[in-house]
Structure 1
Amino acid sequence: METQTNQEYYAKRQLKSGTAGWFLLAGLGVSYVISGDFAGWNFGIAQAGWGGFAIAAVLMAIMYLTLVLSLAEMSSAIPTAGGGYGFSRQALGSTAGYMTGLAVLIEYALAPAAIVIFIGSAFEALTGFNGIWVYAMFYLVFVGIHLMGVGEALKIMMIISGLAVFAIIATGVVLFSSFDSANLFNIPVTEAIGASEFLPLGWYGVWAALPFAMWLFLAIEGVPLAAEEAKDPAKDVPKGIIAAMLFLLFTAVLVVFLLAGSAGADMISKSAVPLVDALNANGNANLATLVNVLGLAGLIASFFSIIYGYSRLIFALSRAGYLPRSLSLTTEHKKVPARALIIPGIFGFLVSLSGEGDLILAMAVVGATVSYALMAYSHIVLRLKQPDLPRPYKTPGGIFTSGIALVLSLIALTGVYAFDPRAFFYTMILFAIGAAYYFGYSKNHLVAHSAEEEFEMLAKAQAELDVSYQNSTS
């Protein structure tokens, strides 16, 4: 591209910078994940018993913590809207960058479709209405809010997330006095290999429970997707994602221990609304009713924020030429990637009509674990190949930390197969379709041949745009 063409191209593909500080980014990270505290994770107890699920949850907590620390470093060094795609492209090249972006896209496009099905069930419990019109309403409303602008959307998201967090903490406070460790181990011991009171379904259950344990943290890796809208990306994104992870560790411990410890592991393992059922089992019906309402807020918070995440990822992939370039066009005044919000929303709505929420979410987990492995490996390669790359934040433990994330993400990937082979194979079909598109078309139509070239073009075009703006206002 000529210089003038660069400026014209990127002028139509700008996000609104300086919108989010670290606290708002931390809220975004919590919002991505918070619905997982309300339901879903507890079915892992049915796979492994409480003790087996606790082992799975600790392993996944370590995986996410080490991954988050690795992402914090890479986001401080490479603060672009592509998040993991940008990191992998710089470390491993264009093909690996695209495959990382594709993996995250599978996760982020499918997760809202699964969550809106769960929203429909919660909405039905409160109103009696569910189905296609409920799914459509939630997609229309929350995609519409994002079209209003990123500042407005993130503030609304913080309010919704705050309500969900209140519900979890209030539940924890009330149930604390009812905790009895004997309730954690009331699932009958089976004949499975390695079975015991602590592991009533044996070691295989721990393996099958890994995908459920991921629900306590799934999608936090999306915080770096907001880098180009942060006030100070090199500082705000690392602080935001680490703060969110620490808070989510706290809420995970709260729900995993107190719900089963107060109401019994066997009951919680079968519950569609574990917080509500635990409160009712302990005679707190009024709070249970409130939490039932706020549980819908938790689902909405994750639905809302993941829509934000997929739009920024598609924006970055499209701007680089991996996806059709028209998807990265932003609106003139609000600087919102409208097409990157609307088109995947239509896709997600159509997927939600299957009604297979558990299967869809398991497929999202496959995409997530593949992306985690590639992002962790990218951190290792960047440390080895570009040791002098400026890093305002450095991962404690360096490549040892990201090595742990890499190994655990590969183990978690096999856990999805142990739980539901269909989800594994269906997701591989999506990867095959995405790879065919890349090798058949987009590989030869990239805007820049390398990550370094892309970032240089972005920086140059931004500088030219800033000069043009200053001249127009002087």
Structure 2
Amino acid sequence: MADKPDLHHRAADYEIASPDYLGKRQLDKGRAGWILLAVLGISYVIAGEFAAWNYGLPLAGWGGLFIALILMAVMYFCLTFSLAELATIIPTAGGGYGFARRAFGPTLGYLAGIAIVFEYTLATAGVALFFEGYFQALTGIGGLVVLIPLYVIMMFIHVNGIRESLTLMLVLAAIAGLGLLLFIAFMLPAFELANIMDLPVSDAWGATRFLPQGYYGIWAGFPFAIAMFLAVEGVPLAAEEAANPVKDVPRGLIAAVTVLFIIAVLVLLSAPGAAGSGYLGSGQDPLMAAFTKLHGPDHPLRYGINLAALAGITASFFSLVFAYSRQVFSLSRAGYLPRFLSVTNRRKAPYLAVIIPGAVAFALSLTRAADQIIIIVVFSATLSYLLMMAAHIALRLRAPGLERPYRTPGGIATSITALVLAGLAFAVCISLSIIWSAVAAACLCCFLLYFWLYSRHHLVAQAPEEEFETMRTAAADLENSPT
């Protein structure tokens, strides 16, 4: 029996594009196996192991940040198990947009997609600042002379095609991983309990040396703990470029989040544990600061770890550009965003979907507001998580007969857990920065206004996510029509 029909598709008007429409919008297929997808997932995040998490130490204390890390790890494991199932149902470049669109129709699908675009574009801006910080620590050079070449070179390589991008990303991630292992090996033996508890104890409810900001510190630590996992959920965006998306995407997702959790725990033990939580509460290069404090500025490995950090941050930059360009490509191909953004070049790269959001990210990097950028990134990310987890629950309840080559362990209990924790993280972002959260919400509203006034009347029926939905609803309408 066909799934019960819904009326969401009636909120949009479809157009039949020219025969060569999709021909000009083809990605380079079959390039990535599950190992490369796992590396892609790690690369999305690895910059967050080198920087960003440390901004949470003064707000949360080490104990608050560590507890927040454990809770957010639970959220990300549940999230990736649920996304792995969704990715096998809809293995397209639409990712979160495709999942929410399938469950709730074009409006919420579009909102999920735009939230993901915000997340990855803003994260690119933040990662560029972390790159500048580590580059300046190594060479003494910072500013536009670092940022401009970074953006230009990265955009050029992405426009040149997926094969070159993923190969370079693999090399950079390997260098970064080696650097992290060396850092942990040289720092962890110097761990002292007093170092992680060296922040002054406040008079907040529940405040102790372990929780200097009290129970509030756990709450405040959520966004910065998320920084150590943020964007791993972007692996399904590579579904159309995977060798076997039904098998490779779930394996890549789960492997990536497992490795990231292990690294996050070890970094949080080794850096503050050796250098002190109070010493690392600010700055864009906490691992360099920690290593230099313990081993001195002339230790030969200091330069190796700095180069590894630059490699890891560059890998994250690469991966984030890949992610936002694929989400923009998918939304544009389906008509939600201007269609010219999804045109691909002769190397099958969506070059305008790379360049235009990249220019926005560059402008945001000039604000130097890395800590505020993190808040907006997490605001956008957790909004998309809420929509994707709700989509998983809705499809389990309303469409139990869908073919699911991979099934989430624990079923909807797993996605409900991720939904609740994502909701808490979303609320934290709003409470920590009402103004910046309002700015993010206002920007989302502007994009929704564009959808309601224009793009919902010009969706493309042949786009993969839309074609799947129109065929499904047509079959359901036919089955339920009077005979």
TM-score by length of 2: 0.90
Q: 1:224 aligns with which of 236, 249, 270?
A: 236
Using the TM superposition, name which of 385-394 and 447-456 deviates more: 447-456
* Map of 1:396 onto structure 2: 409
Q: Is the counterpart of residue 380 in structure 1 residue 376 in structure 2?
A: no
Q: 1:215 aligns with which of 223, 227, 237?
A: 227
Distance 1:458 1:45, change over 3 A: farther
Q: Is the counterpart of residue 309 in structure 1 residue 323 in structure 2?
A: yes
Distance 2:187 2:360 in 1: 41
Q: How do 1:180-199 residues align onto structure 2 when only pairs under 5 Å count?
A: 180-199=192-211
Aligned identity (percent) is 46
- Secondary structure of the residue aligned to 1:42 is helix
Q: How do 1:8-407 residues align onto structure 2 when only pairs under 5 Å count?
A: 8-270=20-282, 272-283=284-295, 285-332=299-346, 334-407=347-420
Distance 1:452 1:15 in 2: 15
Q: Is the 8 A contact 2:180 2:308 kept in 1?
A: no
Deviations 1:408-438 (A, max 9, x none): 1111011112322222111111111111111
Deviations 1:286-329 (A, max 9, x none): 22222122212221111111001111101100011000111111
- Secondary structure of the residue aligned to 1:81 is coil
* Map of 1:435 onto structure 2: 448
* Map of 1:462 onto structure 2: none
Distance 1:395 1:191 in 2: 43
Distance 1:173 1:55 in 2: 23
Residue type of the partner of 1:310? Y
Distance 1:454 1:320 in 2: 9
* Map of 2:423 onto structure 1: 410
Deviations 1:8-31 (A, max 9, x none): 111111111101000110010000
Residue 158 of structure 1: CA displacement?
Answer: 0.8
Deviations 1:382-415 (A, max 9, x none): 1111111111111100100000111111110111
Q: Is the 8 A contact 2:343 2:350 kept in 1?
A: yes
Residue type of the partner of 1:304? F
Aligned residues: 457
- Secondary structure of the residue aligned to 2:184 is helix
Q: Is the 8 A contact 2:133 2:285 kept in 1?
A: no
Distance 1:120 1:385, change over 3 A: same
Distance 1:125 1:231 in 2: 40
TM-score by length of 1: 0.92
Deviations 1:113-153 (A, max 9, x none): 12212222322333333223422211110111011210111
For structure 2, the residue ranges without an aligned partner over 5 or more in a row are: 1-13, 473-483
- Secondary structure of the residue aligned to 1:392 is coil
Distance 1:380 1:129, change over 3 A: same
Q: Is the 8 A contact 1:10 1:458 kept in 2?
A: no
Residue type of the partner of 1:308? F
Distance 1:337 1:272 in 2: 31
* Map of 1:463 onto structure 2: none
Distance 2:464 2:137 in 1: 49
Distance 1:267 1:139 in 2: 31
Q: Is the 8 A contact 1:89 1:450 kept in 2?
A: no
Q: Is the 8 A contact 1:73 1:238 kept in 2?
A: yes
Residue type of the partner of 1:202? G
Distance 1:231 1:378, change over 3 A: same
Q: Is the 8 A contact 2:175 2:311 kept in 1?
A: yes
Residue 275 of structure 1: CA displacement?
Answer: 1.8
Residue 341 of structure 1: CA displacement?
Answer: 0.8
Q: Is the 8 A contact 2:92 2:240 kept in 1?
A: yes
Distance 2:134 2:71 in 1: 30
Residue 356 of structure 1: CA displacement?
Answer: 1.9
Distance 1:107 1:435 in 2: 16
Distance 2:285 2:26 in 1: 41
- Secondary structure of the residue aligned to 1:315 is helix
Alpha-carbon RMSD: 2.0
Distance 1:240 1:105 in 2: 21
Deviations 1:167-194 (A, max 9, x none): 1111111223222233222222111111
